[in-house]
Each structure stands twice: as structure tokens, then as C-alpha cells.
Amino acid sequence: MLPAVLAAIAVLLLMSGSPERRLRTVFAHPDDDAPSRESRFARRAFGRRGRRQRVDERERVTSAVVALAAELRAGQPPSAALLISAGSPPVWPSTLAALRLDSDIPEALRVDAQAHPVLRSLAACWEVGSASGSGL
């Protein structure tokens, strides 16, 4: 599936713009100093810097979830623990807004899970805990 998606992205990038631009992209000379938009995208998405940014973001989310677990073990109520462990910038911004508005926390966690899929599991745990009255 991933190779098909990458091939589709490559075709889309090559087919956008004017015919002259497409030809320049396909037949680019190695001595061209200015990197094209496509090569900048590829380096950002797949290069060392892109990998480093993804790793840093994963570490930030993991740290926030570990901090949440520590706050809960320390006896904080779940909503206060979420607020304290969110980080800056917050890992779960929609959830913080739902806390302030006294809204549906599991649904807000699912919204935040679009950026950080691990939060989907936290949303399920939160929903079971709030429905059954047991702690997280």
C-alpha cells in the first residue's frame, strides 16, 4: 500500500504545473543550484531532518503519556492529570479545550489522535474509565 501511495505522490508532483516546469523537473541538470519544490518536499518528508522531526514528536507524545501516568499514580484526578501533563505546546490541544468547556473528553482525544495515533488508545481507556466509574 505504501509504495502505491508514494508512486501516486510522485506522479502528482510531476504532473502539477506547466509542461515546461514538468520537463525541467524530469530533465533537471545536476549543476542546478536551486532545489526544486519537489526535492525540498522529499528531503523534508524522507530525509534526515524529517526523520528527526518525527522521532522528536514521538518522544514528546510518549513523554506526555508517561507524565500522565505518573500524575495518575501520584493521586491526581484524571482531568487535572491531563491538564498538567499536556506539555507545551500541548500534545492534546482539543482535549484541553474539552476540559475547559466540560465537553466529551474521549471524543476530543480521538480528534487529537488524528495527529498522534497513540492517543486513540488513551481515548478508549478514558471512555471505559468514565463509563464504569473506575480509574484509569
**Rounded to the nearest 10 degrees, how much is the dihedral formed by the CA atoms of 79, 81, 85, 91?**
-30
**Is the whole-model pTM more than 0.75?**
no
The three three-digit cell numbers of residue 55, written as one number: 522521532
If you search the block for the grid coordinates 523534508, which residue do you land on? 44
DSSP string, 62-120: HHHHHHHHHHHHTT--HHHHHHHHTTTTTS-HHHHHHHHTT--HHHHHHHHTTT-TTHH
Per-residue pLDDT tens for 5-58?
Answer: 666 666 555 566 666 665 565 555 555 555 566 666 666 666 677 778 888 888
What is the rounded CA–CA span in Å between residue 25 and residue 14?
Answer: 7
